[in-house]
Amino acid sequence: MTPKASTPKTSTPKAVTASGMGLSGTTPQHGPAEPPLRLPSFDNRANLRQQVAETLRSLLITGQMRPGQVYSAPKLAAEFGVSATPVREAMLDLVSEGLVEVVRNKGFRVTELDDHELDAIAELRGFVEIPVMGLVAEQCSGPVAAAVQELRPLARRITKAAATNDLVTYTEVDNEFHTRFLALHGNAHVVSVIRDLRHRSRLYGLEALVEAGVLAQLSEEHEQMVDAALARDGDTMRRLMTQHIGHIRSTWAGRSATSSRVPGPGSG
């Protein structure tokens, strides 16, 4: 039975201060206060555990939930406007994925990934996604072309979310776009591996890009991928994907472009 939300019904995300979501007794945060988390309403949404888990992953990926910070399920549940049970279950899902760890009698601590690990994740994504997306483009006809055309509205939603600073929606729709695109290759193992790697990515530079007004522009690459596939242009698709994944450990991570370790279209 779906828990009844205690907040007024609204589809507008609400801002919640990150510092207010930790338990008393956790390690105090130094320096300026954390920026507010933007949380959606879960009123009338099916499968709360899954929806909460997806939102928590987005908050982790964008750095709105910071490594080392402890969060309690009851506190998060109050902010989401749901009972603690689906939040606790969602957090345990994230524990199994290695994204958070249990802190006895306190809650869940966000785990840390160092730059070497994050670079390795981006590199592996490049080895898999670049050639697979090139193959999808080259084989784009009939039902595959129709399925690619259906991804265009998702590409536009990503750009809109970037333009409106809705980073939770941005990462959720971005994940759906890329996994559905990859699925057109017909290899479920590829989709599973990339989905897991995407959950482990950290894009701490997104908010700065939003403030600079350039994230929406960079996000237009998604619709360019749709165009490349419909044109059956594998070379352009591989170039776009190399450029796109290169952002993961450069501009989207708040680093210089030379920091990226993504293989080029002809690598391997």
CA distance 130 to 114: 24
What digits encode the pLDDT tens for the residues 222-266? 999 999 999 999 999 999 999 998 887 776 555 554 444 555 555
115-259: CATH, from 1.10.3720.10, 1.20.120.530, 3.20.20.70, 3.30.365.10? 1.20.120.530
Half-sphere exposure of 263 (CA within 13 A, CB side): 15
pLDDT at 20: 34
Tell whether the model's pLDDT for residue 8 goes beyond 90: no
What digits encode the pLDDT tens for the residues 58-75? 888 888 888 888 999 999
Confidence bin at 127 (pLDDT 50/70/90):
very high
The answer to whether the CB of 101 falls within 8 A of the CB of 173 is: no
Closest to 39 in 3D by CA, of 87, 85, 97: 87
pLDDT at 259: 46
**SS3 state of residue 205:** coil
User: DSSP alpha helices (H): ranges in the chain?
Assistant: 48-61, 73-80, 84-96, 115-138, 143-149, 152-163, 167-183, 188-199, 206-212, 215-219, 221-230, 234-246
Strand partners, 107: 103
What does the pLDDT average to over 80-97? 92
- Distance (Å) of CA 204 to CA 85, 215, 217, 261: 29, 13, 18, 17
Domain positions in the chain: 14-110, 115-259
Its CATH class, for the domain covering 14-110, is mainly alpha
pLDDT at 255: 54
The answer to whether the CB of 22 falls within 8 A of the CB of 67 is: no
pTM, two decimals, is 0.73
User: What angle do helix axes 221-230 and 167-183 make, rounded to 10 degrees?
Assistant: 20
What digits encode the pLDDT tens for the residues 22-61? 333 333 344 444 444 555 555 545 588 899 999 999 888 8
**SS3 state of residue 30:** coil
Closest to 52 in 3D by CA, of 40, 68, 36: 40
Tokens representing 124? 């592996």
Confidence bin at 1 (pLDDT 50/70/90):
very low
